[in-house]
Amino acid sequence: PIFKNQSGFTLLELIVSLAILGIIIALGLGGIRLGVTARDAGEKKVDTYQRLRIITEQLTQKLQSTYPVYVAQKDGVPISQGHRVMAFEGNSNSLRFVTFSTPITAVGQGTWVHEVQFYLGKHPKTEKQGLILMEKEILEGSIFSRINPNEDTTQYFLLAENVTDLNLRYYEVKQLAL
């Protein structure tokens, strides 16, 4: 007996349908991979902007809490009589000054007056390169004294790793004749 009305797929139809299904799956996985890559790039960008915001907030808070403090010696070297030198030091890639803002390490004790230095360089303990914030508690007569990274009163924070360029500009204010 010969069956005339057989229903089913031929081998050729099955191979073509599997090939089409394979192409659809490959395109779908490519889209997923593209989506994951875009998400990772977005997260990296958000992380970068968040770090920049934190750095800007720290610098702004510290600068807004500065007060003109004059020193009689700088890094242990006496300043000649009759000269007033402000406890402020800046160059193109670092900034050091005295502030009355709360230190990052504040635990409710000690003094709020401390030296701050933002600089581009290596963290003295971790050796990581980047933008560093140094906070040094001011003890009796130690304003703008030589910085010893191993002292308990000196703390370092890596604000941003692998920063390659930092440019600070300063404006000199000339005293007006009255």
CA atoms within 13 A on the CB side of 93: 10
pLDDT (0 to 100) of residue 172 = 74
**The two three-digit tokens of residue 125, written as one number:** 């303990």
pLDDT (0 to 100) of residue 88 = 85
Cross-strand pairs, 91: 94
- pTM for the model: 0.66
Low-confidence ranges of the chain (pLDDT < 50): 108
pLDDT (0 to 100) of residue 90 = 85
**The two three-digit tokens of residue 46, written as one number:** 């958000």
CA distance 39 to 46: 10
**What are the pLDDT digits (tens) for 41-93?**
999 999 888 888 888 888 888 888 887 888 776 666 777 766 777 888 888 88
**The two three-digit tokens of residue 119, written as one number:** 């600089």
